[in-house]
Amino acid sequence: MRRTERGNTLVELLAATVIIGIISYALTESLVSGLNNSGDSQERVSGSVDRQRVAAAFVPDAQSTQTMDDSTGDACGEGDTLIKNLRWSDLDPGGPKAVVATYWQTGAELVRWLCVGGDDREDQMLADIPDGTTPAIVPADVSAPENGRLALRVCPDEECRGPGFQVIATRRVVAG
């Protein structure tokens, strides 16, 4: 007599269950690892975008700067803590126009206001300020401030160790 029913033995079913369990475990581990790393990656990308925005605004401002001051009385725009006013004159067909780029700390954000001819023209959020850092615009070379290099630092200390960053630009016009 012949058997016509076909099926799997108990050993075959147990082996298949173990193999599926091993594969499921590996897939779950890789998914969890990917989700854990995505937050770090997103933070790095966000920090990179902040640095690009700061460089795109600060470098041309620093290159044009003729004078700098910390005066809140005639600062451009508004914010919680004034970092620095960068001032210069732009040539215009109607005559030179005074330009002020004022950098403010507003909450945990670095904000730049740009005023041309005395008008508030534009405000731009440049970067999130990491905890424990203080933004500053200072001579990039403390030992030779006359060389005209400026640094916008968002760092916990002068060496910019730890969280934060700095952007350095050379002034085209050095006040003498």
The label of the residue with tokens 């401002």 reads 61
Determine the Cα–Cα distance for residues 58 and 114; give it in Å rounded to an integer: 11
Q: What is the pTM of this model?
A: 0.69
Residue 94: DSSP 8-state: T
Residue 176 per-residue DSSP state: -
Cα separation of 97 and 93, whole Å? Answer: 10
Stretches in the chain below the pLDDT threshold 50? 174-176
* Cα–Cα dist 142/151, whole Å: 10
Q: Which tens digit of pLDDT belongs to each residue from 17-45?
A: 999 999 998 888 888 877 776 666 666 66
Closest residue by Cα to residue 165 from 38, 46, 39, 82 = 46
